[in-house]
Amino acid sequence: MRLILLAVSIMAAAAFPPARAEPIPRVDPSTYRVETVVYGFLMPWSVTVLPNGRRLVTELGGRLMALETDGSRTAIRIGSLPDVYFTKKTGLMDVAADPEFSSNGLIYLTFAYGRREANNTRLVRARLDGDALRDMRVLFSATPKAGNSHYGGRIAFLPDGTLLLTLGDGFDRREDAQDLSNHLGKLVRLDREGRAPADNPFVARAGAAPEVFSLGHRNVQGVVVDPADGSILISEHGPRGGDEINRVSPGKNYGWPIVTGGLDYTFARVSPFRDLPGYEPPLLEWTPSIAPAGLAIYDGDLFPGWRGDLLVPALKEKAVRRVRREGGRIVGQDLLLAERGERIRDVKVAPDGSILVLTDGPKARLLRLTRAR
């Protein structure tokens, strides 16, 4: 496999001129209202809303904040995260509530574990008891790699009660995204105890990691289950180009780095192949890169014309891309919040139909979007 990928890299060595981005229309900012809920987060990564309306926000440095319904803020006592690996790029990442949180109080966290020579993404579960996490348990640790890039780290729950965890290719080990014996460049599916379900697609394959659900990914930082039909959608970072939206099916190969439209950091094509038999094509691709950092599907009532549309927070583009869909088919795109010029890290739809947007950086904000009156 490594020889095949080396041949692909050689064939792609000729540099191409940078692609030009087509102008994207902006949603008229007078049609929505933006409220700053909190200012001053330090490198936040994820926001989630609990059934009781309480909101949780993670910061890369290891802090978990609770935003109460009365507007006050509380630092949740996490205790000791096992073997955490903090850098400027990673640390504490996603937070997600168990589908039965109202009865069991369980939340799930992802973070980088290990040291520079051997680290990757870890999934833990704990019980939220007031302002503290208790009974923390490690559920899964991805195959270690060196460096401090490409961790994935997003969580989504499937209708059957299992969960998906997104991972990255480790940056310097992109060819491992095609190797079933490790977790690099994969989505993994686990039960809520951290075990590989018996019906995972590669459980019976000799030498394959039993947790693998799909392969051929670069760095997946958005995952969502479409409430309309149960399909799994992800957003995926390319290098200078080749960011993707994919519809994921169990056992399928999404091509990285053999099949991609991406440009490498030298502006050379990563691969000469845009499509090949046996590899799944993206639903949508962005070149140049917008750096998609999450994914949500709008299913609220405040913006009825947006129901079913994808919301993609973009770090590099400094906006939220609204990807318009009709019957699940992509029909257009426009931009939200582009007038603010802020890097966007996460977006979630609240139960009341408002849109929560988490900006990125050392003095980040949690914004709330509602319909203009």
Question: Are residues 145 and 119 in contact, defined by beta-carbon separation less than 8 angstroms?
Answer: yes
Residues annotated as part of the active site: 150
For 12-57, write each residue's pLDDT tens digit. Answer: 444 444 445 568 999 999 999 999 999 999 999 999 999 999 999 9
Residue holding tokens 């994820």? 46
Question: Is residue 180's pLDDT more than 70?
Answer: yes
Which pLDDT does position 263 carry in this prediction?
Answer: 83
Give tens-digit pLDDT for 104-141.
999 999 999 999 999 999 999 999 999 999 999 999 99
Task: Tell me whether the omega of the peptide bond preceding residue 288 falls within 30 degrees of 0, making it cis.
Answer: yes
Phi first, then psi: what are they for 31, rounded to 5°? -90, -5
Residues 306-333 have pLDDT tens digits of: 999 999 999 999 999 999 999 889 999 9
Region 198-226 average pLDDT: 97
What is the per-residue pLDDT for 67?
A: 96
Residue 117, pLDDT score: 94
By the 8 A CB rule, do 296 and 349 touch? yes
Cis (ω within 30 of 0) for the bond into 257? yes
Q: How would residue 363 be classed by pLDDT, with cut points 50, 70 and 90?
A: very high
* Model confidence at 230: pLDDT above 90: yes
pLDDT band at 1 (very low <50, low <70, confident <90, very high): low
pLDDT at 124: 98
DSSP state of 219: B
Q: What is the CA radius of gyration of the chain?
A: 20
How many angstroms separate the CA atoms of 282 and 362, rounded? 33
pLDDT at 17: 46
pTM of the model: 0.93
CA atoms of 17 and 52, how far apart (whole Å): 52
Q: How far is CA 211 from the centre of its chain?
A: 18
Upper half-sphere CA count for residue 105 (Cβ side, 13 Å):
11
Average pLDDT of the chain to the nearest whole number: 92
Q: Does domain 2-14+36-371 have CATH number 2.40.10.10?
A: no
